[in-house]
Structure 1
Amino acid sequence: MIKPVLSVLAAAVLSACSLAPTYQLPAAPVAGDFPVNAPGAGAAAAPAADGKAAVDTGWRDFFADDRLRSLIATALGNNRDLRTAALRIEEARAAYNITRADRLPSVNAGLTGTRARGADFRNTPGQGGVGEYYDAGISIPAFELDFFGRVRNLSAAALSSYLATDEARRAAQISTVAEVAKAYFTERAYAEQQRIAQATYEARRRTYDLTRQRLEVGASSLLDLRLNETLMETARAQALALARQRAQAENALTLLVGAPPAQAASGPMADDRQIDAMSAVPAGLPSDLLTRRPDIRAAEQRLRAANANIGAARAAFFPRISLTAALGSSSPEFSGLFDSGTKTWSFVPQLAVPIFDAGRNRANLNLAEVRKDIAVADYERTIQVAFREVADALAARSYLADQVAAQRAIQEAQAERLRLLQLRFENGVASTLDVLDAQRELFDAEQQLVQARLLRTTSAIDLYRALGGGLQ
């Protein structure tokens, strides 16, 4: 009996066909090149065309700050989002293994014993006897011969879903690296702004004390004293607000890392040389994103899964052939279970043809087709979002270097203006109001310079992430 069963199984495997549509990857709905943004004369030079691609630049090489590297390494091990993504992979792998197992028959071994009392109407009505019966053997329960590829398409869909989950984990890792770096530099920027605000407060407090002394000897007015007091308390309020924002930034960084930092934050924010190095990654072409970005590859795998599900839905319209087979031994006595003449076998092929299902199969096919259309739209949307992220980061790279240079020139001009006004004030030429106004404008210029440098830093990180960097 085994030979015909194996022959049928081999024929089923070899003749199985697939009713899934021919898979075609949709064309990328974006331009062939990224938009060209011409920086001004003071912008940093564009990176060399033969520079190392972002996807080939590990985050340990991209970030020069040792403490940031330590934080990223900790985050990759402790971040709960990444941990959930890793567990999602295990979940998808288990689901795929289940569907893959359906492509092979299950073989069960069984041993049963039956002891029952029955009525005997042939000899003495109303009187019964007790009988025993034993069975042993192996069986193949209801194995579907996948002639039309229903089970195979379900397995292919599960495999694509598993691969999409793995790509989603990679995308989550890239995002974690970028978010930790941005949170770190944001905290460092708040620390720099707080330092400036505290230094400004100390300077204004000394000016306030000097003005009060001048008022006591009649060399200054009460109006000058109140103006100094207003600016002094304003700087104090700003320093306190920045301290609060810095503490909240530290909390956000702790959440991303997944554990309290091993040491307190220290060191300055990234300087221009470091930012230039981070910005010097070649953009390549939009087509490169299809192989660099894990989120695009995940969307493609979801599209493959939806395409395979259509094949499974189409196969439901065709006959389903299943096979049940058994080989064993039966005996009324357990001791004679394997004696000569007790062997049994059964071979039960079954053909089920769908005749009426109230439109269930048609609805399932429509659902699979709609889900494929959704997967196509999701794939195209993912590409468009990736294209925009890269284009935005390139635009920022083109202009932010000039913006930082212009803001630094403003800060230096305001510092020189304050120095000159202080000299004029000491010689009795300039008024207190002029000096206070110059102090206020210098403080604003210093704060805006820090913000511009932070914006350039985070835009460089965004470009690195958008180009697929952050995995190695």
Structure 2
Amino acid sequence: MSRPLPLAAALAGALLAAGCASTAGITPQAHLREPAALAAGRSLAGASTPSAHWPSLQWWRDFGDPQLDALVDEALAGAPSLEIADARARKAQAQAALADAARTPIVGLGAQVQGLELPQTLAPAPIGGKFNLAQVLTVDAAWNPDFWGESRAKWQAAVGNARAAEIEAQAARLTLAANVTRTYIALAQAFDAREAAEAEAARADALVALGEQRVRAGLDNGIALEQNRGSARAARQQAQAAQQQIDALRNALAALAGAGPDRGLAITRPQLQLPDVAPPSILPSDLLAHRPDVAAARWRVDAARRGIDSSKAAFYPTINLSALAGVAAGNLGDLFGSKSLLLYGGPALSLPIFEGGRLRAQLRGSTADYDLAVASYNQTLLGAIREVADAVQAARTLDAQIAEARAAREAAGKAHALVLQRQRAGIATQLDVLAAQRPLLQLDQQLAALRAQRRIAAVDLEQALGGGIAVRSPDSTVSD
């Protein structure tokens, strides 16, 4: 009995070496990009300042509108979209717990009563022809020692996916807050558009009244009168369109807040400030630690790498330890006697030899998953840095446009004031005053649109910088 053991050990060693060699030639092709290697200094030159900070967790409060603050708080408290993200995170956590449970021994307790009667044609009496009962109590245990780390790698992969799902749930909150803020900014612009259209309609009505007087006096032929009537109707139509947009945006805000349309009726005209836009000077090296989608993508990469480890471990032999201990007897009184003891168990060794390429295909799939996760991470990182640059450059350009529009508005205001002075002096007519008022209204509407775009750029930057959410990246290996 002593000779088979060394022989079996030698055979297992040879097969083990053959199994390990079968993983050759299957390696990942993708490589992670380092954030620091993506230069953005020239694109952000003049925008990044040492005094600038990463967004606060409640960055939308920088707009200085309590009504916006309340709407975002309501959305974060009861939006169904967040419940979906949270449910996905809980499911990923449960899967990680299942993977962890697979690493521990299993112990079970069993009790059963079995009956058997053999026909006398198979077994003569007294065995055949008689119904016999057997009572059995057992305790069974099983454990896979996981020498090669397959179960541990599966657990680590599940942990990585769970952490990614948790961060993605946080990213959903950031996206929701940004969507509420953008919709609120659009609502403010719609109110401005309605006000401008109503002012233009009033101006056109004044021109119509003046034109009717001139036609009755024989000073005009009526062409200008009809043109002004058309302008008044067009302005009122624009005011109605702006009101329709206001109603739709109120409904959208109510839905984002997880409420019905009646909630939107209580939303009054926004009173938004214009926050500064200045990213921190340490971009892009620390972007990974602040962007939830980048950090989640990094966890997916780590989970995929653990998947490769698990697939490689499947090439090694597996050892399962199992044992069963119990008592069995035909009569209940004999169940706990010394002769009723039942024992079974021992180690089991299995090694894949001819598996039709299944393990190699599985490993190829795991490496492809890793390459896909790396490519997704790289794409997410590139997109994050681009979004920061887009928001900063948009804000910079819009600031210049707003400055020019304000200067033009100031000049138009001075011209209008001069015309009013001339009218009071009897040199200019009411028609001249109304004509000078038109550029003012147009520039007011243009400024309102530019301010809305500038506020959107501020939201874009807050979101591009991670929205103040604290996340953790897998910069160290998962421990036991």
Match of 1:387 in 2: 385
Q: 1:122 to 1:68 in 2, by over 3 A?
A: closer
Alpha-carbon separation, structure 1, partners of 2:123 and 2:428 = 136
* Residue in structure 1 matching 2:38, options 31, 39, 42: 31
Structure 1 position 351 matched with structure 2 position 358: no
What's the CA shift string for 1:280-318, capped at 9, x where partnerless? 553532011011111111001000110011111111212
Partner of 1:97: 97
Aligned to 1:228: 228
Give the aligned residue type for 2:267. Answer: A
**Secondary structure at 1:145's aligned position in 2?**
coil
* Aligned residue among 362, 369, 393 for 2:367: 369
Change (3 A) 1:429 1:67: closer
In the aligned structure 1, how far is the partner of 2:163 from the partner of 2:357?
A: 33
Contact in 1 for aligned 2:328/2:335 (Cα 8 Å): yes
Q: Letter of the aligned partner of 1:296 in structure 2?
A: V
How is 1:228-377 mapped onto 2 (pairs within 5 angstroms)? 228-260=228-260, 261=263, 264-270=266-272, 274-275=273-274, 277-280=275-278, 282-377=280-375
- 1:25 Cα deviation from its structure 2 partner: 5.5
Shift of 1:164: 0.3
Q: Deviations over 1:399-431 (max 9, x none)?
A: 322211211222233344445557768957689
For 2:34, give the aligned amino acid: A
> Is 180-189 or 391-400 further displaced after alignment?
391-400
Q: 1:37 to 1:328 in 2, by over 3 A?
A: closer
Counterpart in the other structure of 1:186: 186
Answer yes or no: is the 8 Å Cα contact 1:228–1:436 preserved in 2.
no
- Whether contact under 8 Å (1:182, 1:461) holds in the other structure is yes
Give 1:182 deviation, angstroms. Answer: 1.2
Q: Partner amino acid for 1:50?
A: S
> Which moved further from structure 2: 194-203 or 413-422?
413-422
- Inter-CA distance 135–38: structure 2 relative to 1 (3 Å threshold): closer
Deviations 1:347-380 (A, max 9, x none): 1321121122221111110010011011111111
The alpha-carbon deviation at position 387 of structure 1 amounts to 0.3
**What RMSD in Å do the two structures reach over aligned CA positions?**
2.9
Partner of 2:174: 174
Distance 1:256 1:457, change over 3 A: same
1:138-149 aligned at under 5 Å gives the runs 138-141=139-142, 143-149=143-149
Task: Read off the aligned partner of 1:376 and give its amino acid letter.
Answer: V
Change in CA separation of 1:415 and 1:38 when aligned onto 2, cut-off 3 Å: farther
Q: How far 1:437 sits from its partner (Å)?
A: 5.8
Q: How many residues align?
A: 442
Unaligned runs of 5+ in 2: 1-19, 471-480
Q: Is the 8 A contact 1:154 1:312 kept in 2?
A: yes
SS in structure 1 at match of 2:286? helix
CA, structure 1 residues 32+309, in 2 after alignment: closer, same or farther (shift >3 Å)? same
Judged with a 3 Å threshold, the aligned counterparts in structure 2 of structure 1 residues 21 and 345 are, in CA distance, closer, same or farther, namely farther
Matched AA of 2:297? A
1:1-80 aligned at under 5 Å gives the runs 26-28=33-35, 30-36=37-43, 49-54=50-55, 56-59=56-59, 61-80=61-80
Distance apart, 1:79 and its partner CA: 1.5
Q: In 1, are the aligned partners of 2:99 and 2:154 still within 8 Å (CA)?
A: yes
* CA deviation profile, 1:330-358 (whole Å, cap 9, x unmatched): 11112221122322211132112112222
Inter-partner Cα distance in structure 2 for 1:221 and 1:439: 24
Question: What secondary structure, in the 3-state scheme, does the structure 1 residue paired with 2:35 have?
Answer: coil
Over the matched positions of the two proteins, sequence identity in percent amounts to 31
- Kindly state the Cα deviation for residue 450 of structure 1 after the two structures are TM-superposed: 0.5
| Native 8 Å contact 1:313 1:361 kept in 2 | yes
Q: Tell me the distance in 2 between the aligned counterparts of 1:414 and 1:179.
A: 36
- 1:284 maps to amino acid: I
Secondary structure in 2 matching 1:341? helix
Deviations along 1:180-233, one digit per CA (max 9) or x if unpaired, are 111111101111111121122122212212221221222333012112112211
Q: Distance in 1 between matches of 2:45 and 2:116?
A: 93
Give the TM-score taking structure 1 as reference length.
0.85
Task: Look up the equivalent residue of 1:28 and give its one-letter code.
Answer: P
- Report if the CA contact (8 A) 2:67-2:270 is conserved: no
* Deviation readout 1:34-59 (Å, 9 max, x if unpaired): 334567xxxxxx675234321x4533
- Residue matched to 2:3: none
SS of structure 1 residue aligned to 2:199: helix
Counterpart-to-counterpart distance in 2, 1:161 and 1:21: 22
SS at the partner of 2:119?
strand
Distance in structure 2 (CA, Å) of the matches to 1:389 and 1:460 = 12
C-alpha separation in 2, matches of 1:229 and 1:398: 41
Corresponding residue of 1:15: none
Change (3 A) 1:164 1:219: same
Q: What are the equivalent positions in structure 2 for 1:403-442 lying under 5 Å apart?
A: 403-420=401-418, 438-442=436-440
Moved more, 234-243 or 182-191: 234-243
**1:135 matched residue in structure 2:** 136
Q: Which residue of 2 aligns with 1:458?
A: 456
> Partner amino acid for 1:467?
L
**Which of 409-418 and 330-339 deviates more?**
409-418
- Per the alignment, do residues 50 and 127 of structure 1 end up closer, same or farther by CA in structure 2, a change over 3 Å counting? closer
- The SS at the match of 1:140 is strand
Greater CA deviation, 446-455 or 243-252?
243-252
> Retained in 1: the 8 A contact 2:49–2:281?
no
Where in structure 1 are there 5+ consecutive unaligned residues? 1-17, 40-45
Deviation at 1:70, TM superposition (A): 0.4
What letter corresponds to residue 38 of structure 2 in structure 1?
A
Paired AA for residue 247 in structure 2: A
Q: Distance in 1 between matches of 2:128 and 2:338?
A: 33
2:54 maps to a residue whose letter is A
2:117–2:128 contact (8 Å) kept in structure 1: no
Distance in 1 separating the partners of 2:421 and 2:221 = 20
